[in-house]
Chains A and B, each alone.
Chain A
Amino acid sequence: MSNTSNGGADSKGKIAMYAKLYLAVLLIIIVSELIGIHKINIGPGSVVLLPMLYAVIIGILITPDVLGKPFKFLRKIVTSEEVEAAGPIVLISLLPLGVKYGTLVGPNIVKIIQAGPAFLLQELGNVATPLIALPLALMLGLEREAVGATVSICREPTLGVIGGRYGMNSPEGTGVLGTYMIGTVFGTIFFGLLGSFALLTGLHPYALAMASGMGSGSMMTAAASSLAAAADPALKDTILAYAATSNMLTGVTGMYSVIFIALPLTNLYYRKLYPVFKKDKGGK
């Protein structure tokens, strides 16, 4: 099945495989949309549950290594082949959303240019990532893995930079892959919940909207749409437009900020901190 020739049996198998995948996805969409949007008040804040959140959870659950294990019939529909095929489709299915973001940014373009300085400077907020997370990683006993794991939010550009510099099999590579994978599996769920709850901090929805653009289309969407659903409805369009703009900007600057700012800084910080944590352990 792995060759890509157009032999009769092969392409028939391929069509059946895509048909099963599309059917599974369509069923997930129908169920998720039927459940609908729910706003749950928790203490002083509220969490907004959107259909996309159910979709990602159901999607993970029906794969062969999760519920496919105990339930045989699921393994007949979603096999590892469908799982493999779903990956490249994600990138294509993101594009209609990308266009919709364009239609949110376009009419607000003047407002966005006025907020230009905030957009540019908040990109530097990424520096807070190693500052806070590196000491924690060292405290938990990681060594060079800590540099890879905490250098940034570890999306594809960071994976490329760390892989290029240290190799993917290095300790730094293991670290960056760890954060990357957790982001891939739980990122949208995490930010889908945090996006609405973050309003409790008292930060303005516009500031939170800018922060949502972290260089991942799906994480940004989870953070920004749940924020937009929880905030004042009058702010909704600007929230989504700010988030999309910030995400586009991160797409441009992200890799360079890792190479020139985040990675040198994390390495320097590691050299200063490592002896401190090492001594602590030796003393015990």
Chain B
Amino acid sequence: MLNMKNTLEQLKIMIVVAVMILIGQKIGYGLSVIEAIPGIILIVIVAMLALMIKDLLPNLKFPAFAWATMIGLILSMPFMPTAKFFLEYTNKVNFLGTTTPILAFAGISVGNKIPQLKKLSWKILLIAIVVFASTYFGSAIIAQIVLKIQGII
């Protein structure tokens, strides 16, 4: 069920993040804050929709992040009447500009895991690195073979 109080809290945080994105992309990429306002408002609306859909359909186990991508995708498909309008405005919001606030919050949020991390041995660090690399290259090698067979690359 939708909890209005919770949704309102999320909206407040979303607005703060939106302002941070505008400031960040002004500094990093020299993009105008004013010109990007309609685009960031559209993005905030879609993001809030994603959060609400996730709350309304908890059994689907589909994360809000994936819902956000899904809605953005549908609105910007070539044959959709919304595509031109939606892309024109959201293109004023820089892709990389949206990543910096996330990682800043993420960095701070893992701060309380440092003591636990220190308890782990160097062995698990080594194993984890091999796990990451083999997941990545395992998928990349299969993708390479299939894309080649399909003639895409």
Per-position 1/0 for A82-105, Cβ under 8 A of B: 111011011111111111111111
CA–CA, A185 to B106, complex, Å? 9
CA–CA, A33 to B123, complex, Å? 35
Residues of B within 8 A of A122 (CB): 139-140, 142-143, 146
Q: Which of A38-46, A162-170, A216-224, A276-284 contacts B (4 or more CB under 8 A)?
A: A216-224
Residues of A within 8 A of B117 (CB): 181-182, 185
Q: How large is the interface on B (under 10, 10 to 19, 20 to 34, 35 or more residues)?
A: 35 or more
Residues of A within 8 A of B18 (CB): 96
CB distance from B80 to the nearest CB of A (A): 8
Asked whether, in the complex, the Cβ of B96 is within 8 Å of the Cβ of A51, the reply is: yes
CB distance from A211 to the nearest CB of B (A): 4
Asked whether, in the complex, the Cβ of A207 is within 8 Å of the Cβ of B124, the reply is: no
CA–CA, A122 to B64, complex, Å? 24
Per-position 1/0 for B106-143, Cβ under 8 A of A: 11111111111100100111111111111111111111
Q: Which residue on A lies nearest to B17, using beta carbons?
A: A93
A78 adjacent to chain B (CB < 8 Å): yes
Asked whether, in the complex, the Cβ of A83 is within 8 Å of the Cβ of B104, the reply is: no
Asked whether, in the complex, the Cβ of B73 is within 8 Å of the Cβ of A190, the reply is: no
Residues of B within 8 A of A225 (CB): 95-96, 99
Q: Which residue on B lies nearest to A249, using beta carbons?
A: B66
Can you report 29 A-B residue pairs in the complex whose CB atoms are below 8 A from each other? A32-B28, A55-B104, A57-B107, A62-B111, A63-B110, A78-B111, A86-B111, A93-B13, A94-B65, A96-B47, A96-B98, A98-B66, A99-B47, A100-B93, A100-B95, A102-B74, A125-B140, A126-B138, A133-B127, A136-B127, A146-B127, A154-B128, A178-B127, A183-B132, A188-B103, A190-B129, A206-B143, A214-B139, A248-B70
**Those 6 A-B pairs whose CB atoms lie nearest each other, nearest first:** A59-B107, A102-B72, A63-B111, A128-B138, A106-B76, A125-B139
Listed in ascending order, the chain A residues whose CB lies under 8 Å from chain B are 21-22, 24-26, 28-30, 32-34, 36-37, 50-53, 55-66, 78, 80, 82-84, 86-87, 89-107, 109-110, 114-115, 117-119, 121-129, 131-133, 136-137, 140-142, 146, 149-150, 152-154, 175, 178-179, 181-188, 190-191, 194, 198, 201, 203-204, 206-208, 210-212, 214, 217-218, 221, 223, 225, 240, 244, 246, 248, 251-252, 255
